[in-house]
Each structure stands twice: as C-alpha cells, then as structure tokens.
Structure 1
Amino acid sequence: MAAWNQNIWRHLFTDKYAIEKAVTATTTATNVPTPFLIIPKREPVEECTTPIPTSNNQDVKPIFPNAPHRETLPAPATTPPSATSCDPSDNENGLYEEFNRVSQLFRTAFAEQQQQQQLRASQQMDSSNDLVLDPNSGAIVPVPPPQEYGGHWNGNDAVGYEGSSSSGGNMTLAKRNRLKELVRVKDLSLKDQRHYREVVRRTRLIYDSLRVLATAEEERRMMLTDWRKARGDLRASTLMKTCGLWLNRDKRIVGAIPGVFVGDVFLYRMELCVVGLHGQTQAGIDYLPASMSSNGEPIATSVIVSGGYEDDMDDGDVIIYSGHGGQDKHSRQVFHQKLEGGNLALERSMHYGIEVRVIRGLRYDGTATAASKVYVYDGLYRIMDCWFDVGKSGFGVYKYKLFRVDGQAKMGSAVLKEACMLRKDPLCFKPVCCLSLDISHRRENVAIRLFNDIDKSNEPLCYEYLPKTNFPPMVFHQTGNAMGCECVDGCVEGCFCAMKNGGEFPYNQSGILLRGKPIIFECGPFCRCPPHCRNRVTQKGLKSRLEVFRSRETGWGVRSLDLIQAGAFICEYTGVILTRQQAQILTMNGDALIYPNRFTDRWAEWGDISLINSNYVRPSFPSIPPLDFALDVSRLRNVACYMSHSTSPNVLVQFVLYDHNNLMFPHLMLFAMESIPPMRELSLDYGVTDDWTGKLAICN
C-alpha cells in the first residue's frame, strides 16, 4: 500500500489531475473522508482570441528539453458528499488526519527535487549575478533580438527577447492579446536601459494624464447627477488598451521588466497592467495558462502581496505566500484551495527555477495623495519551497516560500516604512547627520529637513530662506485690468477666472493639474472667493515634507518624505527678480542666476493625449510674451534651488499668476510629472547651459 501511494504521489505536481486520482483512490481504500476534491477547470481565455500571425516568427521554435512527461489519466471518480463539505467541524479528526497525510506525502514525493532545486540556486547565486536559475529552462523560449534600433517611442513598443543586447531594438507593435512565449530580457546596454525607462515614463505620463482628465469629467457629471465614485483609472486603462498602448503585450516577460525600477510606486492596480508588470486586474497571481503555454505547463510571472490571506507571512526578504482561492467576499477562507490556475503555476515556476516579480500592496496614509493603497515593486523572488497545509480557518491552503534575489536595489516597501518613521520622528535615522530640522525657519507650512551623511558641508544653512518670489514694485503697478471673480462660496463653471483660463479650471477638485498651459491664472486679491477655492492651489504653499540632502552624484539634491501624486503641486521656484540689465551685471560677478525662459516646455507633456485623440491640440491660450528676467538665488533662495538637472525629469515648471496681472513676470510653480515615491530625488530640466560658465543654470 505504501509503495503504491508513493508511486501515485510522485506525479503530484507533474499533472494536477493525479492529485484527484490519488485522493479519491485512497479515500475508497481507507474510508477516511477526503478534505477536498480537485475539479478540472478550463484555463481562462484571455482578452482576445484573434489568431496571431506567425510569419515573422518562423525561425523561432519553442523547445522544452526539461519539460516532464505528462501521462494521460482517466477522468476523476465521483467523490462522496462528505468530501466536498466545507464545514471544518464535519469529521474533524478524520479531516485533519487526512490533511496531515496528504501534506506528508507531498513533502516526501518532492523532497529530492526541492533539494536539487536549492542546490542549483545556491550554485548559481554564488557563481554569477545573472538572474537565470536554469539557463536551459524549457519554459522560456529563446527569441532572437531585433536587428535595428528604432531610437524613438511610438506608443506601441514592447520588449520580448532573451539574450544580450548591445544595440537595443525597435520592438514589435503591442498586441491586444498576450502570446504564449515566455522570454527574459537581460544584459541591456546603458542606452537600452535609458530607452526603456523613457518608454515606461511616457506611458505612465499618458496614463496619469488620461486618469486625471477622466476624473475631472466624472466630477462635473457628479455635480449634475447623483454622487458616485469616479474611476478615472479604469477609463484611462481602457482607452490605452483600445489604442494599443499597453506595454509588453506581445511577450510574457519573465523577471525584471525593462524600464521599471525596484521601488517604483503605482497608485492604481490598473497601472500595473498598463506597464506589463502584473497582467491580472483582480487575481494576485499572474501566470501563463497551460492552455496558452507551448509546453502545456502554467508558469507564474508575478504576484501581489497585500495581506489579503490570513496565512500569509511577510518578513521582507522571505515571504510565505498563500495560494489563490477559497475565500468569500469578506476575505475569509471558507473553501479548500485547489491545485490549479495560479497555484499550479507557482509550483511549476519553482520546478523550472523561474523567478517571479513581487509587488506589495500597502496601505498608505499620506498628506500628498488621496490614494489609500499603493502598489510598490519590490524586485525578483525565487520560489524555493511549496507545501500543502491546513490554514488558520481549518481549510486546505497551498503555501509557497519565496526568497528575494540578492544584488537588487533596496525594497520600495522598506523605503516607504523608513519615510513614515522619519515623518513621525525626523531624528530616528542617523540623527548626527541631520544638520537642521527646518531650513525654512517656519516660513513654510511644513518643515524642510537638511541631511548630509556624505561630508561635512552645510552650505544650505548659509543662505536666507525665501518662501515666495521677490518681485520689484513696478510689477504690481502694471496690473492692467484689476478684476476678479464674484464667486462667494468658491469658483464655479463659467465664472470670470474660468474664462481667463480658456473656459475651464486648471485643477480638479483635489488640486491636481489637469493639463499644462503656457500660463495659469489663479484667483487673487481682487477675487471674492474664499481661501479654500479650487482655483487657489499654488498660493497655499508647500504641502509635501521635503528634504535637502547631500548626494554623491548631484551634490545637493531634494527628495520628499511623502509620496507625491502625479500632477500635484510641489513648491515654487523662488528668487529675487532681476531685469536683463541687472542680470548682466551680476553674471559678470559670477553670481548664481536662473533664467525662466531657458526651462524646457515640459508643461506641454502633462495632459498631452495626442496618441489617444488625433484631434488633440497643444494648449496655446493664454499666451505670454517672451520672459526677459532672471532669478537671483545668490543670497536668497528656497528648497527648489537644490533640485538637480535631468533630461528625463519628474518635475515640470508651470507659469502661474495670482497676486498681479503682469504677464512678463509670472511665478515659477513646480508640479510632479509622475507619481514620485518617498526618498526619490526630484529633478528638473533646466534647458540650455549658461552662456558664461558653460554649466547648467543651477545654483548647486
């Protein structure tokens, strides 16, 4: 009997129907009620069943040298009524006895395989930094790299090859369905890494722009009809999918997604699908179904760890991950989990030595974003063990032990926790390196910390903090038409200030910038609306808790202790206004000047939906004359002066007027171009270099 059992359970995960056969046969022989019944279920048909042309891939033949032989088993026998009972009190002693027996058989059958798997993993990790556990894994299809590098982004780029890359490639147009091949991208050149990062950045920029515009439309609709929650994230993802702008849809990428960095934060789950990080809109396990796999094996590619299962354990680098299924709508385990779908795919990934991406869903209570839950990409993990156990609720649960791959960047979830601790206690981390708790000396709404753990420099303390730009008196004397709105309870559609902005408000109800414009008119001293008016965003001052820090790469830099939502106002770039003649004199003396007309037009990228709407026209109203002044930051400055330069910035400059109407002297307001995680450096595109020094017009 023991030998017969061992032979049956040897195929426990080689074929999922073998479990059902073994449990049913053992139950008949011993008259012990079985704890669960595996009912074969069809794999999900994904999104689009349009046949995929294969003319371009004639030379690519999937090979599976390591794929185990799958025996054809007869249909499962009928289970007695007691076997499908979900009440843990029924036959309690027999239930737990059978669960323990099944678990022991599971461990015995795969003990040798797991030892070999762990041995290969340790040898691979010791000998190389390559993330491939099994280079000849039959679950991954070798795809030849493209021949030419496109050098531009057309909204449909996707990644899909395994092997070295020295010149990159113009990727295949993204399909609206997902193909069978599993591929891994590795050994990208620096040029390729920058290219794919820019692809992801622009894709997220389009997504956020669409989401914000859709939310504003829903807000206007809710004012006319009954209230309902705006779901701009769903509308944005649907539009992008219709236009073929979802990334990485032509191949199933195993491992890291090119252009997505460890620590990247996503405010909405649909955004994970848009960039190809996790393809399931609801399920926590993303996998290639067996019906779509060339070797007939489901393979998992990513998981979301959000604490939704009571048997989960998360220690950061080590995760005990519970399988999918068996829960009711209140997230209570009420059924036994089955070895199918994502659960089987995780075991197959362990068998083939394929790493999975881990995204953590975390509750976030921040002042700079309305999101109550965020998703953080924490890197690659390997599945080193899996077993079947009785969960806390008394029902069968499949568990998987995941280990984080060494040599990766710090986990984004750990960074979020550290930033949360710093918000509560600014001296909890390296207190000796905190040179000041507030360099603004309470001139801002929130404190700005100064931190240096690199050297002994304390340069920012040598300047006087300037919270608002210092305009010359003549700017306020030339106010022009000093008129304002007559709104008493807050600006409404069609008011005077809305007309000044082209007939629409520049912000939504949450204060998020809808689209960039040449200039924005906010309500000012001549308006009757109250301070909480939706059209008074930038003049309310700083909200995010910023930190000036010392960096080895950029000198002084700026980062936030808060998560900054895409389109949110950050701060003003302040200084003393100088005319052209005054600026020329100070430049000869070598003083630090910032020229507003040299900032690139990054504002035009925020809200640009030309890839969605062919009739989209870049905003040109209200127009402003060429700016012919400079900001002197040699003696008076604020936190914005320490932002570093980047050709792919995460912060844009938007010109705003509110305290005067002189178009030649606007305020320089800074907004987030993307969702910026805590402790990530803020960067601007300062544009052309200084004529005299040959350096960027940046004070540090």
Structure 2
Amino acid sequence: MGSRVPFQDLNLQTESTNFTSSPTPIPRIIPKIEPKLEPFDEYTQADLQSTPFFSNPSPNFNSNSGSAFTRTPQLPTSHSIPPEIPLGFEETNVYSEFNRISELFKEALMQRFGGNEVVEHQDSHAEVVENPNSRAIFPINSDTQVSEIVIDRKTYAQRSPELVRVTDPYPEGQRYLRDTVRKTRMLCDSLRILMNNQHLLPHRRRTGDLRAFQILREHGLWMHRDKRIVGAIPGVLIGDVFFFRMELCVVGLHGQAQADIDYVPASQSSNRESIATSLIVSDGYEDNQDGGDVIIYTGHGGQDKYSRQCAHQELECGNLALERSMHYGVEVRVIRGFKYEGSGSASGKVYVYDGLYRIVACWFEIGKSGFGVFKYRLSRIENQEEMGSAILRFAQDLRIRPLVARPTGYVSLDISRKKENVPVFLFNDIDNNHYPVYFDYLVKTVYPPYVYQNVGSGNGCDCIDGCGDSCFCALRNGGQFAYDCNGILLRGKPLVFECGPHCQCPSTCRNRVSQKGLRNRLEVFRSRETGWGVRSPDLIQAGSFICEFTGVVLTREQAPIFTMNGDSLVYPSRFPERWAEWGDLSQIYPNYVRPASIPPLDFVMDVSGMRNVACYISHSSSPNAMVQPVLYDHNHVSFPHLMLFSMQNIPPLKEISIDYGVADDWTGKLGHL
C-alpha cells in the first residue's frame, strides 16, 4: 500500500512571482500574507436553516442508536467571518450583522439553560433522545405548528492543514484503496436514499441529502480529513461521477461544500502562504473557457446572487492560492460540473473527476461585464486516463445518434430483437467474433412447472387504488416497500417481494420494478481484457435495477447431464451475498442487525441455448453491481428471480461487473461465459 510522505517545503523556493503578458497589464498587487480564515466549510445558510429534524429511519433500528438523527448543524458564529472584508462583497456585512444578532440571542438562551448552544428543528413529531446535561428543549407556539428550539454543544473538528503526497501503491494496495472508496460511497448513497424515503415529497429531497452527508461527518466517516492530499486521491479514479458536491467532500476529492477552489489558507500554512489543491470548473463564470486539456479559469469573487460579475476581483483567498500553486509548481485536481440528462440528482447536474492539471499562467484583465477578473491557464498533465467529462459527452451523442458517433463496430443494434423495452447493442471493433448473435434472447427465466403450483389470486395484495403501508406485499418485505418512488432499492434483502400478476394494484405500483424489464440501454462489447463485457451508454444511478440474469432452471439431478456437452451452466448458490452490503448502516448504528439469509439456492441455470445480456457481465471481486433475489410471479422461495442492481453510480460506457464467487465441489469450475 502507498506511503504518505510530507509535502515539499515551500519555504525553500523563494523565486518572485511572474505573470504572463495579457491584453490588460496587471497592476502591481502585493499578495496579502496576514492570516485569513478558511471559507465556511459546511452548507449554505439557507440549507442550514432548512435542515429538518429526523426521527429514527426504520422501525428495526433501536432508538438509542439513532441519536445522530437528533443533531442539527450550528449556524456560523461571528468569528467565522474573516477580519478583513474584501471589496466587492457587500453581503458580508449583512452576514456579520446577522451573526452578531444570532450570538446575542444565543447568549440570552445560554444564560437561561446553563451555557448550551441553540439550534432549531422543525419536525414537532420526531422522537428525541436527549441528554439533560447537554441539551434542552422548549416549544414555540404558532398558529400553524409547534416548533422547538434544541440546545446542543455539537462542534466539528477543523480540517488538518498538513499537506502530503501519496506515492503509487502496489496493485494490492490500489485494490484495497479503491475498495475503501467504493464502500464509503456505497454507505453514503444508501444512507442518502434511505433519508429521502422518510419524506417522499420532492421539496424535502434536498434536505434529506444534506442530512445524510452531515450524519457521515458526525460519525467521522468523511475521508482524508486528517491530511490534505496534493495530487491524486488514492482510490478515486479519473472518470468517477458524483451527483452532489458534498460527495466530493466525503471522499476527500474537494474539501469545500460551496467554494469552487479548495486550498490551505495562509493562516494555517507553515510559511503563511496559501496553496490550492483542487478546483471545480463549471459554468458559474462567464469568462471561463474550457478546451478540455487546456482551461482558462476565472478566479472567484465579485459576483452577485444571480452569478453576475458586479465588482473587481481581489488577489486573495482562493485566487491567491491558485497563484501560489502556479509559483511553486503544485498540481491541482480538476472536477467538472455540468448539466447532464438522466443524472438523477435534484439539480440535474453531475460532477466528474478529470485528473491533474498544472497552472502555467496567471493574469488580470477586464472581463465581459467590464470588471477586472483574474484568469489562470491550466494545462492537463500528460499520460493520464481519458477525461470522464469527454466520455460523458460522447455517451450523450451515442444515445441520440449511435451510428454517427460510432460509424463502425456495431454488429447488431438490438440482439434482443425488440423483446426488451430498450435496445441491447452488440459492439466489436477488435475481431470478427459475433458469438452473442447466435443465441435465442431470453427475457425471463424459465422455471419448472411445479414452481407455479398453488399460486392463485389469493396470494397477492388487494390494493385496488394503489399500495399503501398496509399492503400485503409490503408486510412480506418487513413492513415497508423495498423501493423508493424512483424505483431505487432502499436496502438489500435476502428476498424482495414485489407485487405481481395476482395483485389487484395497478401496473404503476411503486412495488413493481424489476419485473418491468430494462430501464437503461445496454451494450455487449468485445474487450481485450475480459473477452465479452457489458456496459451502458446511460448513467446508472446507485441502487437502480439493471437487468435479470436469465436462463433455463435445472435441478441438481439434471445438472450433470447438461455438463457432458460443456459447461454452460450458472450456479446461483455460488453468488456471494453482496445484497447485504447495500444499506448496511452498521458503521452508523451500533445496533444494526444484518438481515437473515435464505437457504442456499439448490438449482442451476442452463444458458447454452437461451440467454440474455446478463450472461456477458464480467466477474470482479469489487463489483459495481449485485445479485438481489426477487419474487413476484410465484411463492417458491427456493427459486427466486436473480435481479441485478447497481451498487454505485456507474458512469456511461463503464463496464458492469458482478461477483460470481468461487467454485465448490459441486459447482466445479467458474461458470462465467
């Protein structure tokens, strides 16, 4: 595994700063070296004030383990405002006055309640687990609802200012670090989805997302808070896609929830000079020019609340940090944020990591709005993987015009022959192998006739107007639905019960997800590394249904007969219980109980003549998809449908993988095709 080594001593380099020539000569600006505090590293004021108070997310959780849901973030105090207010930021005075009044209000309450701090929550029905020595609650009556003020001493530790590099780890270390990031993101996604499911109204969704990120921080699960890493973050790969800025903070890719420039402020630097480590490139500044490998980046500051430039920028804070990074030759991580169709986020925006850049020039000029702005030319370091943003944009063209975006390589535009809801492409630009075309495409698994015995109309729910909390199928799932309103799996289970053909609910029921077939386009492609593989031109959100693993079901006695003609069998009993990882909140709730497993699946599936796209999915010990058993058309628990769900956000054209497990004495060799 890689070793951490101290960052270079910036005091050893004493060269003067040189700016490149520009259309407008740069005025003589002396960098400020007096201490400046880091920008407020939390949510916006509006987000903090609107963050609701959540109760325990599931009746299965013990109330004592849900104390994290009784915390709300503090408002920034007056000492969070930098001592020197820069020009062009008139609103800072408003925030200072707001914080001063807030402090007076809090001091008055602290005198009454013994020196505690004050935060607000809005949900008057939430269960509260209180420590009388640290918290106090009293109601505030109104005409419409009863609010409460909660007194809490919760504080957060500041980020470490120490800069380090991470050397290239050996392959085992790379896999370990990647798996650590994968598990952290999976925990983040599953918690966020669970939180949003507590309040199904669309306008509460943003608040649920922020609350989930806050809970992770309260439990110390944000990565790399003890060090500030210069260069690549171990375990984060170029092309990784994020739906929320806060996700960047969770994995340590970008440490600011609001600011586009992440840096070590001068007040925390060993030599009193700020250094930038990462930045987000988006369409927030009209003077930005993004050419992919070369970026003309506009510094921050001087904008009003409508993102219009209304004042000159100053060489301070993040602007000064970028200039100092150029001076010392320090590379920065670049994350691009842009609107993307099918992102699944409330804003419709995605963030993709595009690798390391060097700042090669800096100058000051008059921008399009007539105000002075600082500009930086960034050049992408060579010999890196292809930019994730370029792949996303190519995938957009591929979905609209596949034959124009990729004129050669397609063997078939739909090997399912319209049996699926969306086409399943076959692509091979390596050799002349057209193997997948010669099989009958099987949409659903074929079970023995006896599996459907004793299945009648009395085995389904009678929710004619739509399924509710008292739905029979929901009760079979433990008293709650397995999916949210968007069809995202809330928590992995040993067996998910969906409403089926014997239920009275309509086809639009939220408990009918995997039985409806493909939602994302898939592509079987030829790979030099894995032979055949599967990917999607769509961005697949974590927890989404991908496809069913289909075949003709055989019993243990029938399996040896079919293996005489070659091993074309898939052994479901060998699939590891990866479903238990999705929604595993044991790191947050000490009393979390893992769902009990079902008996081993004592059957195999023959895919020698009929199969579907799932048969070409590759094996991985750190997969991005999992096998989730589902029942909907019969009640035989020993013969569930093998449904594949994503365990993380899968970027477009990223290969999908599952864990096939290891062979045993009965199953013989690995049955992956």
Find the partner of 1:42 among 16, 36, 39: 36
Shift of 1:47: 6.1
1:395 is aligned to 2:371 = yes
Question: In 1, Cα distance between the equivalents of 2:611 and 2:421?
Answer: 16
Question: In 2, Cα distance between the equivalents of 1:240 and 1:564?
Answer: 23
1:29-108 equivalences under 5 Å are 42-44=36-38
Question: In 1, Cα distance between the equivalents of 2:424 and 2:440?
Answer: 14
Shift of 1:694: 5.4
**Which residue in the other structure is 1:366 paired with?**
342
CA contact (8 A) 2:631 2:641 kept: yes
**Which residue in the other structure is 2:506 paired with?**
530
Matched letter for residue 491 of structure 1: C
CA contact (8 A) 2:196 2:205 kept: no
Find the partner of 1:638 among 612, 617, 620: 612
Matched letter for residue 499 of structure 1: L
Shift of 1:369: 6.8
**Which residue in the other structure is 1:271 paired with?**
247
Matched letter for residue 684 of structure 1: I
CA contact (8 A) 1:690 1:697 kept: no
Question: In 2, Cα distance between the equivalents of 1:187 and 1:23?
Answer: 39
1:253-292 equivalences under 5 Å are 253-292=229-268
1:210 is aligned to 2:196 = no
Question: In 1, Cα distance between the equivalents of 2:484 and 2:461?
Answer: 18
Shift of 1:42: 3.1
Question: In 2, Cα distance between the equivalents of 1:559 and 1:328?
Answer: 43
1:297-308 equivalences under 5 Å are 297-308=273-284
Shift of 1:399: 0.3
Find the partner of 1:505 among 471, 476, 481: 481
Shift of 1:582: 1.1
Question: In 1, Cα distance between the equivalents of 2:248 and 2:294?
Answer: 23
User: What is the CA deviation profile of residues 249-300 of structure 1, one whole-angstrom value per residue up to 9, with x for unaligned ones?
Assistant: 1111000000000000011111000000000001000000000111111000
Find the partner of 2:639 among 665, 670, 675: 665
Cα separation, partners in 2 of 1:474 and 1:692, compared to 1, 3 Å: closer
**Which residue in the other structure is 1:322 paired with?**
298
Structure 1 segments unaligned to the other structure (5+ residues): 1-8, 14-18, 25-36, 49-74, 87-174
- SS of residue in 2 equivalent to 1:385: strand
Find the partner of 2:181 among 200, 203, 209: 200
Cα separation, partners in 2 of 1:662 and 1:178, compared to 1, 3 Å: same
1:334-483 equivalences under 5 Å are 334-366=310-342, 372-479=348-455, 482-483=458-459
Question: In 2, Cα distance between the equivalents of 1:683 and 1:370?
Answer: 27
1:77-156 equivalences under 5 Å are none
**Which residue in the other structure is 2:146 paired with?**
none
Matched letter for residue 288 of structure 2: D
CA contact (8 A) 2:26 2:364 kept: no
Question: In 2, Cα distance between the equivalents of 1:333 and 1:451?
Answer: 47
User: What is the CA deviation profile of residues 311-363 of structure 1, one whole-angstrom value per residue up to 9, with x for unaligned ones?
Assistant: 00001000000000111111110111111100000000000000000000021
**What is the percentage of aligned positions where both structures have the same residue?**
61
Matched letter for residue 599 of structure 2: P
CA contact (8 A) 1:367 1:562 kept: no
**Which residue in the other structure is 2:601 paired with?**
627
**Which residue in the other structure is 2:48 paired with?**
none
Shift of 1:481: 8.5
Matched letter for residue 431 of structure 1: P
CA contact (8 A) 2:617 2:657 kept: yes
Matched letter for residue 564 of structure 1: I
CA contact (8 A) 2:549 2:612 kept: yes
Question: In 2, Cα distance between the equivalents of 1:84 and 1:479?
Answer: 72
- What stretches of structure 1 move > 4 A for 4+ residues in a row? 9-13, 19-24, 37-41, 45-48, 83-86, 367-371, 690-694
Find the partner of 2:227 among 229, 243, 251: 251
- SS of residue in 2 equivalent to 1:292: coil
User: What is the CA deviation profile of residues 596-640 of structure 1, one whole-angstrom value per residue up to 9, with x for unaligned ones?
Assistant: 1110000000000000000110122xx643311111101100000
**Which residue in the other structure is 2:145 paired with?**
none
Question: In 2, Cα distance between the equivalents of 1:249 and 1:508?
Answer: 32
Matched letter for residue 660 of structure 1: H
Cα separation, partners in 2 of 1:431 and 1:571, compared to 1, 3 Å: same
CA contact (8 A) 2:35 2:267 kept: no
Cα separation, partners in 2 of 1:389 and 1:577, compared to 1, 3 Å: same
Matched letter for residue 654 of structure 1: Q
Question: In 2, Cα distance between the equivalents of 1:217 and 1:411?
Answer: 37
Matched letter for residue 354 of structure 1: V
**Which residue in the other structure is 2:585 paired with?**
609
Shift of 1:472: 1.8
Question: In 2, Cα distance between the equivalents of 1:412 and 1:11?
Answer: 33
**Which residue in the other structure is 2:98 paired with?**
none
- SS of residue in 2 equivalent to 1:619: coil
Shift of 1:43: 2.2
Question: In 2, Cα distance between the equivalents of 1:312 and 1:430?
Answer: 30
Shift of 1:589: 2.5
Shift of 1:85: 12
CA contact (8 A) 1:464 1:636 kept: yes
Shift of 1:480: 7.8
User: What is the CA deviation profile of residues 519-544 of structure 1, one whole-angstrom value per residue up to 9, with x for unaligned ones?
Assistant: 01100112111111100011111011
CA contact (8 A) 2:337 2:351 kept: yes
Question: In 2, Cα distance between the equivalents of 1:691 and 1:697?
Answer: 13
- SS of residue in 2 equivalent to 1:231: helix
Of the structure 1 ranges 183-192 and 569-578, higher mean CA displacement relative to structure 2 is found in 183-192
1:152-191 equivalences under 5 Å are 176-191=157-172
Matched letter for residue 296 of structure 1: R
Question: In 2, Cα distance between the equivalents of 1:593 and 1:613?
Answer: 40
Cα separation, partners in 2 of 1:47 and 1:322, compared to 1, 3 Å: closer
Question: In 2, Cα distance between the equivalents of 1:677 and 1:526?
Answer: 37
Matched letter for residue 224 of structure 2: N
Question: In 2, Cα distance between the equivalents of 1:686 and 1:242?
Answer: 36
- SS of residue in 1 equivalent to 2:403: coil
- Provide the TM-score with structure 1 as the length reference: 0.75
Question: In 1, Cα distance between the equivalents of 2:520 and 2:17?
Answer: 56
Question: In 2, Cα distance between the equivalents of 1:410 and 1:392?
Answer: 32
CA contact (8 A) 1:246 1:274 kept: yes
Shift of 1:428: 2.3
Question: In 1, Cα distance between the equivalents of 2:207 and 2:385?
Answer: 33
**Which residue in the other structure is 2:213 paired with?**
237
Question: In 1, Cα distance between the equivalents of 2:217 and 2:388?
Answer: 27
Question: In 1, Cα distance between the equivalents of 2:664 and 2:614?
Answer: 18
CA contact (8 A) 1:574 1:638 kept: yes
Matched letter for residue 633 of structure 2: D
1:600 is aligned to 2:576 = yes
Shift of 1:235: 1.4
Shift of 1:20: 12
CA contact (8 A) 1:512 1:567 kept: yes
Question: In 2, Cα distance between the equivalents of 1:470 and 1:368?
Answer: 33
CA contact (8 A) 1:218 1:230 kept: no
Question: In 2, Cα distance between the equivalents of 1:11 and 1:365?
Answer: 43
Shift of 1:587: 1.7
CA contact (8 A) 2:34 2:266 kept: no
Matched letter for residue 445 of structure 2: T
Alignment RMSD, CA only? 2.8
Of the structure 1 ranges 302-311 and 425-434, higher mean CA displacement relative to structure 2 is found in 425-434
